[in-house]
């Protein structure tokens, strides 16, 4: 059983708080602070309890052999200070070492240390125990609020809590686990999953695990064309993973056996390439040679949105077309609006789906936006997440 944050005694104690501040940065400024904001409730709770906070995160994919300026967490610290109303954020030049340890041990209540990017050390991703011990030496208590990294068996995720036996899940981590867990164990019905995105390989295990748990699966985006080909429908030059056509056909048969309805596009918005500015409707589910499907068509939009109005639980992951290009954004926008308009429980995961909700201006109308990305997918595939297990 994972201990809750409220059960920990953190008063005036040094707390190692693993957060997920892996944010996009351009010209030295954070361009999307969603993940920083998601951690604020835990940070503010710990500050109210007069904890001495030591925050740790990764950012991007540095080489792991030392400091790289473009992956520095300095812009993140500056944005966090702004969001906290000017709180003193101490930004050391590294995450380990005698100087950093001394800084953490001398930290005053009310101050926050934000350690430099954990991935500047290759030992982080290698889950090196010596590195984990160095990190653990900064603090007395461990809290993990980085659900987005919970599927990674890295030193700061699974190694540090071995050396800090007083540990718990942060408020965000707990909410993610509880919300996603209910999708698998006690969803209100009808339960509809909307799955899109380009890569079918990323979704096959998810679909397999959802069969028998959902009532309907709506499939769009690039992954839909492998399923359509599996049904013998012409897909032109659309994105198809030939190695997954047979698996897709077996999943369609399996869904039929267990009474889950898989709904595929019945029409498309087509063009020669994603860069085209002259999209055309297909009229039916077949796509002629030389053209590719780049968005779901109006009949599919109507069918998807009609199904969603009846849902009492919705899970959405992945755009329904090349929504980054204006001519092919209508399908994803319509689904975003339909999900937001639902009176049921709505859970959305994946950066592109959340971006679509934000573009549509309806992100605040969704029950839960999962910050997890890959972690939320693996959780819903039924896999145990190392970062959650480490807190048990």
Show which residues are catalytic: 35, 199, 351, 374
139-153 per-residue burial string, b: 16 or more CB within 10 A, e: under 16: bbbbbbbbbbbbbbb
Reduced to 3 states, what is the DSSP secondary structure of residue 214? Answer: coil
- Cβ atoms of residues 115 and 55 within 8 Å: yes
* Residue 378 burial (CB count, 10 A): 18
Please report which helix (H) or strand (E) contains residue 346, including its range. strand 345-349
Place of tokens 């164990």: 185
In the block, tokens 């998601």 appear at 38
CA distances from 362 to 55, 200, 387 (A): 31, 27, 31
Residue 326's Cβ-count burial label (10 Å; 0-12, 13-18, 19+) is exposed
How far out from the chain centre does Cα 304 lie? Answer: 23
Say if strands 25-26 and 29-30 run parallel, antiparallel, or are unpaired: antiparallel
Cis check for the bond before 190: say yes or no (omega within 30 of 0).
Answer: yes
């Amino acid at each position: 059983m994972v201990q809750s944050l409220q059960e920990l005694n953190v008063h005036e104690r040094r707390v190692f708080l693993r957060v997920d501040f892996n944010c996009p940065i351009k010209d030295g400024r954070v361009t999307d602070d969603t993940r920083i904001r998601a951690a604020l409730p835990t940070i503010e709770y710990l500050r109210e309890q007069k904890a001495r906070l030591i925050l740790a995160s990764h950012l991007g994919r540095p080489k792991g052999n030392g400091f790289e300026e473009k992956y520095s967490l300095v812009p993140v610290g500056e944005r966090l200070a702004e969001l906290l109303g000017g709180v003193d954020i101490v930004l050391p030049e590294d995450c380990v070492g005698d100087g950093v340890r001394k800084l953490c041990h001398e930290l005053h209540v009310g101050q926050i240390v934000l350690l430099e990017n954990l991935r500047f050390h290759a030992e982080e991703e290698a889950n090196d125990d010596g590195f984990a011990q160095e990190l653990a030496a900064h603090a007395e208590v461990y809290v993990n609020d980085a659900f987005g990294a919970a599927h990674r068996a890295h030193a700061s995720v699974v190694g540090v809590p071995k050396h800090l036996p007083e540990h718990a899940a942060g408020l965000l981590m707990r909410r993610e686990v509880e919300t996603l867990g209910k999708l698998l164990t006690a969803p209100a019905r009808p339960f509809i999953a909307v799955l899109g995105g380009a890569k079918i390989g990323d979704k096959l295990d998810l679909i397999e695990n959802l069969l028998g748990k959902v009532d309907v699966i709506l499939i769009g985006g690039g992954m839909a064309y492998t399923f359509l080909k599996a049904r013998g429908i012409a897909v032109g030059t659309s994105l198809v993973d030939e190695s997954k056509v047979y698996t897709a056909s077996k999943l369609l048969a399996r869904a039929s056996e267990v009474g889950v309805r898989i709904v595929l596009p019945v029409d498309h918005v087509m063009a020669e390439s994603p860069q085209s500015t002259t999209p055309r409707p297909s009229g039916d589910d077949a796509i002629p040679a030389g053209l590719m499907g780049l968005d779901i068509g109006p009949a599919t939009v109507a069918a998807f949105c009609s199904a969603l109005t009846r849902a009492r639980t919705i899970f959405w992951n992945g755009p329904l077309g090349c929504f980054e290009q204006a001519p092919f954004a209508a399908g994803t926008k319509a689904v975003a609006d339909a999900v937001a308009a639902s009176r049921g429980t709505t859970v959305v995961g994946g950066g592109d789906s959340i971006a679509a909700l934000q573009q549509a201006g309806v992100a605040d109308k969704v029950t839960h936006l999962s910050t997890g990305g890959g972690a939320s997918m693996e959780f819903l595939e039924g896999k145990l997440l190392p970062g959650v297990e480490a807190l048990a």
